[in-house]
Structure 1
Amino acid sequence: MSYFINVILPIPLDKEFTYSINKTEAAFLQPGMRVAVQFGKSKIYAALVTKVHQNPPLVYEAKEIEHILDESPIVTQHQLELWSWISNYYMCTKGEVMRAALPGAFLLESETIILKNEKSLFDESLLKDDEFLIYEALQYQSLLRIQEVMNIVGKKNVLPVIKRLIEKEVITVQEEIYEQYKPKIVRYIRLNTTYTKEEALRDLLDTMTRAPKQRKVLMHLFTLQAQATKPIKVNELIKTSNSSAAVIRALVDKNILDEYHLQTDRVQYTGEVTENTKQLSEYQHKAYEEIKHSFETKDVCLFHGVTSSGKTEVYVKLIEQAIQKEEQVLYLLPEIALTTQLISRLQEYFGEKLTVYHSKYSVNERVEAWNNVKTKKSKAQVVIGARSAIFLPFTNLGLIIVDEEHENTFKQYDPAPRYHARDTAIVLAKMFCAKVVLGSATPALETYYNARQKKYGLVQLTRRYGDVLMPDINLVDIKTKYRKKEMTGHFSDTLLTGIHDALKEGEQVILFQNRRGYSPVVECNTCGHSPQCPNCDVSLTFHSYRNQLRCHYCGYHIAMPQKCMACDSVDLTTKGFGTEQIEKELQELFPDHNIGRMDQDTTRGKHGYEKIISRFEEGDIDIMVGTQMLSKGLDFRNVSLVGIMNADNLLNFPDFRAHERSFQLMQQVAGRAGRTKKRGKVLIQTYNPFHQILQQVSVNDYSGMFTDQIEERHQYKYPPFYKIIKITGKHKDYNRVNEATNWLAKSFRNVFNENVLGPEFPPVSRIRNQYHKNIVIKIPQGQSLNKTKEVIKKINTSFKSIKEFSGVRVIINVDNY
């Protein structure tokens, strides 16, 4: 009787593959375990078992597996179901979903090692120079890795050299698999048991009079033992006794001290669980009861509460309720910056029960979080994280909270799977019969529409916590200010007066400008030339702190030129402004105050966000300049003024959601002002103060904006009335992209008629030397989604078989907004 398994490989292939196993392996293996398998000629992958069965594959002969990697499944049945839903709905392969879902350490890759061929004899004089270098290196080393060969030969492409050496039988190659995850082992120290009796100990100390350093270490060990009951780490002992590892090593060798190892988690919470959760205000309590009531009939509830209304406290009560039922809770946030502030808040309530999971954590930390969630450890009852946390192996999920659900960062754009975490969360909750709360001050139109259609429950919280008034929002017309010469740099006199007043009162200010760098364009005043990126269709942005021009799409950078590259004139100016330029102007205008900047350039690294946020919270920074990171639900107690430097570049964006997005962004930024006692103030600088959206922002009119926008969406056939699939062709040759997308559009038009838009080049049509061209397919409400996707797949398959279009990558993005 032969046995087989189906596996998913972590490569972008549609099918599952079948491998053969023996009877004992078949009895041991379960879906969700990993096995090492050979795929292709020599590459070895860690594949995930989905099914154990006895049906041999029809088309090919099943290979045997190399070995089994796990003792128990690392992926649950629910996860496999979710993966197949994602791959079907978002039109990607299961391998791509697997790559995105599993922490990097679980995706074993093999590495090629090069060994000397001991058996063969050959003439060294026949070897070429680079071949001889490798041969010579193998005389001194038993094995070489590809990276080392690259360093020896001094070039990237070393495969031809290795191939020639294999042909000449000088070397042999092997594939070696390496595990990336290493548990963290900590060394501990204790006194040998023979010396626990007092007489033995006294004798020992008497004999040690000639080794004062060792004696000192022992004394320190006794004081540490007296102070705490927990085991004592080696490095802790070295630190307190000011000695060295050698002294401790000597004591271990003499059998006076014993050394032992324990495995620990990398991320640990050391603080106390201080607070009982806060008392809810009557409005919060009412909202809490309404959400519970809505859960009796509906699984999803939209919680629409204005900024600073205390939504988090309501979530905390819901989480408490889930913990009492011993269910797991997933708390999704759009931005890693947000998690840092919220974690410290939630840890005060839940302490140890909280686990954090996002991509700024190291591979090993993520594996530990994964294992804790899977084994239902008490420390992983509440998981808080960015969109990737949706893939964790929950076993008993009871509640999912999606905070700031309107944020576009919940959507993954590259690489595949291009999933939307909010929509995926709703599907995941359905599998566990769990409940979902979508929270936001400015919900996405689709979500609000669903709530209006009674598909979701809707709970509203219109009062700010502590009955603080909503901020006072004023529009500043900078067109007239420029005309009347009332501008200083990029600041209107109104904004400057506001900043002066706030600082005089000892309060803080936030200034928002949605562009990093110093200025987006450098231009020559003589001939009008501006430096462009050689790989993309954009001008280079000037960054003054490094004095260089950078491309924000591909990372290309050059030093800031001293003279024009075209006509050698030295008269260069900058056009437009980013966060750096505002920071510099502020330093000149307010030399006595501390100015901070929060954008992608200043928040690199794992703790980049925390440092800046905590400095601002502690009052180290008086004025904070930042990009949209600042708008994401952060809670600063002492901010009384928020300034938006230029509202127009948000509104005039070529996208059907531009107006909705700018309304949300401005409302969220405005919501950072006046969150405690005093009413906050918001100043929005614009060239067009009579714009509909700006008027609606200034009076917090969400439902007015919703009515206008939904009317437009209906008229022009956009979501939520039509679904959208965007198809992009990419290639480095302009003509080939053109022909390929034209062929695709024509094929789609034959089926979907007028519901196909394009092909059209996007505003930035070349990125990293690849030309992009888009086609948009609109799907009306009556049309079957699955059949539409089948047709798209069919057309895509026939497209791939056309020789003229080989090399054109087709990217399918479902719900691309």
Structure 2
Amino acid sequence: MHFVDVILPLALPKRFTYVFKAEDYDFEIKVGKRVAIQFGKRKIYTAIVVNIHNNPPQAYDAKPIEDVLDQTPILTQLQLQFFKWVSDYYLCSEGEVLRAALPSAFLLESETIIEKHPDINQNEIEFIEDQHVLILDALDMQSSLKLSDVMSILGKKTVFPVLNEMLSKDLIVFNQELNRQYKPKLIKYLRLNSVYYQQQKFEELLESLNRAKKQKEVFMKMIALETAKKPITKTKLKQETAVSDAVIKALIDKAILIEEEKQQDRVQFKTEVTSHHIQLSDLQDQAFNQIKSNLETKDVCLFQGVTSSGKTEIYIKLIEAQIAKGNQVLYLLPEIALTTQLITRLQNYFGDQVIVFHSKFSVNERVEAYKHVLNQSKGRIIIGARSSIFLPFQNLGLIIVDESHETSFKQYDPAPRYQARDAAIVLAKMSQARVILGTATPSLESIYNVKQKKYAYVTLTKRFGNVLFPKINIIDLQERYKKKKMKGHFSEDLILKIQETLEHGEQVILFQNRRGYSPILECNSCGNSPQCPNCDVSLTYHKHNNTLRCHYCGYHIAMQIKCMACGSKDLSTKGFGTEQIEVEAKALFPEFKIKRMDLDTTRAKNAYGNLITEFEQGEIDILVGTQMLSKGLDFRDVSLVGVLNADSLLNFPDFRAHERCFQLLTQVAGRAGRTQKQGEVLIQSFNPHHQVLQQVTTYNYKQLYKEQLYDRKHFKYPPYFRLVRFTLKSKDFNRVNEASAWLATYYRQVFKEYVLGPEFPPILRIRNMYHKNILLKIPPQQSLSKTKSYINKGRDKFEAIGAFKSIRLIIDVDPF
């Protein structure tokens, strides 16, 4: 008897051991392969083998493995090592990491529902295996089956191969509960039976088809297309001949046409290379050589290049060097929105070497991209958002973290709550690869690591082609409102500049970091504003569908025409979001094309790309948007950027507020004037003399970093201290108070004054769950491993208390 340790895709604190006999399975059991196992009384899960040994577990009797699902491992040793590090550092289970890392199609469960394929016609199928007939007959009697039902019908536990075969033949489908099983995309092709290329057979066939004119027409078309060696798709043949399915089916039945199914890649690769050579400027070439030289002695290089300095061209040269060595390159981006432009640029240069991987892809697309990386079959350059760090790299040579300061690299929910920038550095070390952190506005952590000599540091201080930096002017809103020089939320200064820009045939970006039309609808008689019944927030007004909506839980109601408290019809909106700016801009500039880019307008798979393409091609004159506009997009005809209200960024309740305000405003300003004409940026603010805004106007990042690092050290915040946040959630207000007080007291016994709280967050209740936070500060000299050991001990004691069973405890390492 042999034993395996497995990881289940569940939030379980440990691995579990199962027993097997090698001769019982079609495939050999290896580390990294998937196995089907029973966990609990009845449930079947997909688990990953992480160890094979001969030692039975001491605390329980090992159950047998149900089935082996893979011919070859789908996880590498490097991945398993990396998953363990993520689990240990971010204080979560390996199962949670596994669920985040693997495309969900790899994780089959017994809760999956099996249904008959809606297009199946059993009478047309020439041969069905007995096992398939049994399942189809059962599905005739009832609309759906569970995995356990199939096991009973077939009288065996190893049903996965049978179901996979039925799935590939379009006999069954999985409904949404199990829509996670990968199915290859099959395309039907037709070719002419080669026997009819013999003269005699050809003439006999023509004679026999004289009475079937449509069939003869299709046959002659196939001859004309010369498809004996190169099949044509069934769909294309129908288009070419304008005949019905019945005509083509008749030719197939007579064996005149041969039908074949071929697997088609959902991940489309561009094979044509349109850019063959990139000529770096002297400054770019200097930066390129400095980076190469520094990476010989340092694992990480911080590359600070101002906006529009040509960092991407340098990245391409660095990628080229890695590809020449046969290495893989991971290009990490904070937002899916950025992939559209970058994919085009990299594909123009590298052709089919580029793979894209992100959450907007379908399940099957993610599976195929995953397999390409695993097998190194196509594409050595992987572009993706944060989850790309979990891919099965075989020969990773370089990781580029573009816009490395961005907060989007942090995963908040669900676990693992990892910071992809930091995790990428660990992954690179495990892979003996190098990392480039690229940005125009580095995070304070990166600057601190440069000062500590941990990172190399290369700068590019001039824009490509010596293009001038945009002029940045701050508009005093207090003064403009006082002098009645405002139209809605637009100052007369901004309106005039927009008009001038549009008249010159140039484009405008308007930035407001809040979506929706208005955050608050208020009654002028009693002061009441509609609240979300599930969360302690006001409902936001969305004009495009005339609804009041909660941005935390999705609750929505129709726009109210009278106050829900007193019945008054005297209602007004307070505050503004991107939708209101779009409406006001359309009223001010009715002859121009204006669109909006925010979460509401970019939910669909290709919505980002379509908007960006329209703007690039000059089909949009003014683009209104949130912070996704600031992230590395390159629009050549934008000469004006307007920031409608900078104060919301400065006043955000977060110790990083000033750093992030500087980064965001500098980045959004960098979208202006990226060609020869100098761009202009207008920032509207009620506090125009604020030091951060003044630093933005002069690009004085050195002064900002100096001030912020001083404050962080003084108040014991990162990068000098590490942070761990404990969030407790419960529907019971009193219970969450009691539980948080107990946990804070427990940790304070060891960590003393470095435990802050418990305290309520700004929004006390979300989705009917009350929240309370505890913050732990970890001094630089304190052992991280011992600290986490004590944190885990506290969590175990907390979860063992019966009164706290209903409390959900979330631990977030490096939470900000």
Question: Do both share a fold (TM > 0.5)?
Answer: yes
Asked if the contact 1:305/1:311 (under 8 Å) is kept, the reply is: yes
Aligned to 1:45: 45
Match of 1:647 in 2: 646
Can you list the C-alpha shifts for 1:462-506, whole angstroms capped at 9, x where unaligned?
Answer: 010111011110000010000000001100011001100000100
Question: Sequence identity, in percent?
Answer: 59
Counterpart of 1:17?
16
Offset, 1:12 = 0.4
Structure 1 residue 720 and structure 2 residue 719: aligned? Answer: yes
Question: 1:186 is matched by which residue type in structure 2?
Answer: I
Q: Indicate the SS of the match to 2:295.
A: helix
Q: What secondary structure does 1:349 align onto?
A: helix
Partner of 2:472: 473
Counterparts in 2 of 1:287 and 1:604: CA distance versus 1, 3 Å:
same
| Contact 1:507-1:638 at 8 Å conserved across structures | yes
Contact 1:42 1:175 in 2 (8 A): no
> Could you say which residue in structure 2 is the equivalent of 1:741?
740
Tell me the equivalent position of 1:398: 397
Mapped to 1, the partners of 2:23 and 2:368 lie a distance apart of 30
> Which amino acid in 1 is paired with 2:442?
P
Question: Residue by residue, what CA displacement relative to the aligned partner does 1:327-384 show, whole Å, maximum 9, x if unpaired?
Answer: 001000000010111111111011111111011101111111111111111x221110
CA contact (8 A) 1:113 1:173 kept: no
Determine the structure 1 residue equivalent to 2:188.
187
1:208 is aligned to 209
Aligned counterparts of 1:682 and 1:658: Cα–Cα separation in 2: 21
Measure how far apart 1:230 and its partner are.
4.5
1:589 aligned onto 2:588: yes
SS at 1:110 equivalent: coil
- Secondary structure at the counterpart of residue 371 of structure 1: helix
Aligned-pair CA distance for 1:222 = 3.2
Opposite residue 372 of structure 1, the aligned amino acid is: H
Does the CA-based 8 Å contact 2:471-2:678 persist in structure 1? yes
Name 2:355's counterpart in structure 1: 355
CA spacing shift, 1:229–1:541, aligned 2, 3 Å: farther
Q: Does 1:343 align with 2:373?
A: no
Q: CA 1:273/1:222 → structure 2, altered by over 3 Å: closer, same or farther?
A: farther
Aligned equivalents of 1:235, 1:112: Cα separation in 2: 32
Contact 2:510–2:625 (Cα < 8 Å) also in 1: yes
Equivalences for residues 673-692 of structure 1 within 5 A: 673-692=672-691
Q: Measure the CA separation in 2 of the matches of 1:681 and 1:198.
A: 75
Matched residue of 1:111: which SS? coil
- C-alpha distance 458-606 of structure 1, shift in aligned 2 (>3 A): same
CA distance in 2 between counterparts of 1:272 and 1:51 reads 44
Aligned residue number for residue 332 of structure 1 = 332
Partner of 1:135: none
1:372 matched to 2:372? The reply is yes
SS at match of 1:380: coil
Judge conservation of contact 1:651–1:659 (CA < 8 Å) in 2.
yes
Taking a change above 3 Å as real, the CA distance of residues 763 and 147 of structure 1, as seen in their structure-2 partners, is farther
Cα deviation for residue 113 of structure 1 reads 7.4
Alignment partner, residue 273 of structure 2: 273
Q: Which residue of 2 aligns with 1:159?
A: none
Matched, 1:261 2:253: no
The residue number in structure 2 matching 1:127 is none
Q: Mind listing any 5+ residue stretches in structure 1 that lack a counterpart?
A: 116-137, 149-161, 163-171
- SS of the equivalent of 2:663 reads helix
SS of 1:460's equivalent in the other structure is strand
Shift in Å, 1:453:
1.7
Q: CA deviation at 1:206?
A: 4.2
- Contact map agreement 2:113 2:146 (CA 8 A) in 1: no
Contact 1:112/1:175 (<8 A) preserved: no
> What is the RMSD computed on CA atoms of the aligned residues?
2.2
Q: Is the 8 A contact 1:37 1:66 kept in 2?
A: yes
- CA deviations 1:662-698 (Å, max 9, x no partner) are 1111111001001111111000000000001000001
- 2-structure distance, mates of 1:602, 1:220: 46
Question: Structure 1's 112 and 240: CA in aligned 2 closer, same or farther, altered over 3 A?
Answer: closer
Deviation, structure 1 residue 14:
1.1
Secondary structure (helix, strand or coil) at the match of 2:111 reads strand
Which deviates further from its counterpart, 572-581 or 275-284?
Answer: 275-284
Aligned 8 A contact 1:110 1:175 in 2: no
User: 2:231 & 2:710 partners in 1: Cα distance?
Assistant: 67
| Whole-Å separation in 2 of the counterparts to 1:398 and 1:113 | 42
Residues 495 and 229 (structure 1), Cα distance of their counterparts in 2 relative to 1, 3 Å cut: farther
Aligned CA distance change for structure 1 residues 243 and 146 (closer, same or farther; 3 Å) = closer
Pairwise CA distance, 1:271: 5.7
8 A contact 1:46–1:107 mirrored in 2: yes
2: CA distance between counterparts of 1:386 and 1:108? 25
User: Which secondary structure state, in structure 1, belongs to the residue aligned with residue 632 of structure 2?
Assistant: coil
Please give the secondary structure, in 2, of the residue aligned with 1:297: coil
Look up the match of 2:797.
798
Question: In the alignment, which residue of structure 1 is the partner of 2:283?
Answer: 283
Q: Is the 8 A contact 1:114 1:173 kept in 2?
A: no
Asked if residue 224 in structure 1 is aligned to residue 225 in structure 2, the reply is yes
Q: How many angstroms does 1:273 deviate by?
A: 1.0
Residue 514 of structure 1 is matched in structure 2 by 513
More divergent stretch after superposition (709-718 vs 174-183): 174-183
TM-aligned CA distance change 1:69 to 1:283, over 3 Å: same
Deviation at 1:229, TM superposition (A): 7.2
Residue matched to 1:56: 56
Q: Retained in 2: the 8 A contact 1:306–1:441?
A: yes
Q: Evaluate the alpha carbon distance shift between residue 113 and residue 365 of structure 1 in structure 2; reply closer, same or farther with a 3 A threshold.
A: closer
Q: Name the CA distance, whole Å, in 1 between partners of 2:695 and 2:750.
A: 41
Q: Counterparts of 1:792 and 1:68 in 2: how far apart (Å)? A: 37
Give 1:623 shift.
0.3
Q: Is the 1:277–1:316 contact (alpha carbons within 8 Å) kept by the matching residues of 2? A: no
In structure 2, C-alpha distance between the alignment counterparts of 1:776 and 1:387, rounded to whole Å: 25
Q: Is the 8 Å Cα contact of residues 66 and 158 (structure 2) preserved in structure 1? A: no
Letter matched to residue 476 of structure 1: I
Distance, in Å, in 1 between the alignment partners of 2:790 and 2:552 is: 33
Aligned to 2:301, the other structure's residue is in SS state strand
Q: By how many angstroms is 1:175 displaced?
A: 11
Q: Is the 8 A contact 1:725 1:813 kept in 2?
A: yes
Count of aligned positions: 772
* Conserved? CA contact 2:45–2:107, under 8 Å: yes
For the 8 Å contact 2:22–2:29, the answer to whether it is kept is no
TM-score, structure 2 normalization = 0.92
Deviation at residue 535 of structure 1 after TM alignment? 0.5
Does 1:197 pair with 2:178?
Answer: no
- Determine the C-alpha separation between the residues in 1 that align with 2:113 and 2:368: 30
Shift of 1:571: 0.9
**Aligned counterparts of 2:112 and 2:343: Cα–Cα separation in 1:** 42
Which residue does 1:158 correspond to in 2? Answer: none
**Counterpart of 1:28 in 2: which secondary structure?**
coil
Aligned to 2:489: 490
Matched AA of 2:425: I
8 Å contact from structure 2 (residues 354, 383) kept in 1: yes
Q: Measure the CA separation in 1 of the matches of 2:505 and 2:517.
A: 28
1:225 deviates by 3.1
Q: What CA distance in whole angstroms lies between the structure 2 residues aligned with 1:51 and 1:779?
A: 34
Task: For 1:623 and 1:81, locate their aligned partners in 2 and report how far apart those are by CA, in whole Å.
Answer: 48
* 2:32–2:49 CA contact under 8 A, matched in 1: yes
Contact 2:139 2:145 survives alignment (8 Å)? no
Deviation at 1:223, TM superposition (A): 3.6
**CA deviation digits over 1:88-143, x for unaligned, max 9?**
0000000100000000001111137799xxxxxxxxxxxxxxxxxxxxxx999534
Provide the rounded CA distance (Å) in 2 between the counterparts of 1:140 and 1:83: 40
Question: Which residue in 2 is equivalent to 1:299?
Answer: 299
For the structure 1 residues 318 and 112, does the alpha-carbon distance in structure 2 shift closer, same or farther, using more than 3 Å as the test? closer
On the 8 A contact 1:405/1:443 being kept in 2, the answer is: yes
Q: Indicate how the Cα distance of structure 1 residues 435 and 229 shifts in structure 2: closer, same or farther if over 3 A, else same.
A: farther
- 2:558 is matched with which residue? 559
Structure 1 residue 269: deviation in Å? 2.5
In the superposition, the TM-score normalised over structure 1's length comes to 0.92
Deviation at 1:262, TM superposition (A): 1.3
Q: Distance in 1 between matches of 2:787 and 2:558?
A: 50
Aligned counterparts of 2:720 and 2:583: Cα–Cα separation in 1: 46
- 2:540 is the alignment partner of 1:538: no
- Tell me which residue corresponds to 2:178: none
Secondary structure in 2 aligned to 1:210? coil
Q: Which amino acid aligns with 2:420?
A: A
d(CA) in 1 for partners of 2:316, 2:698: 30
What's 2:80 paired with? 80
Q: Is the 8 A contact 1:35 1:48 kept in 2?
A: yes
- Could you tell which deviates more after superposition, 233-242 or 669-678? 233-242
Structure 2 SS opposite 1:427 = helix
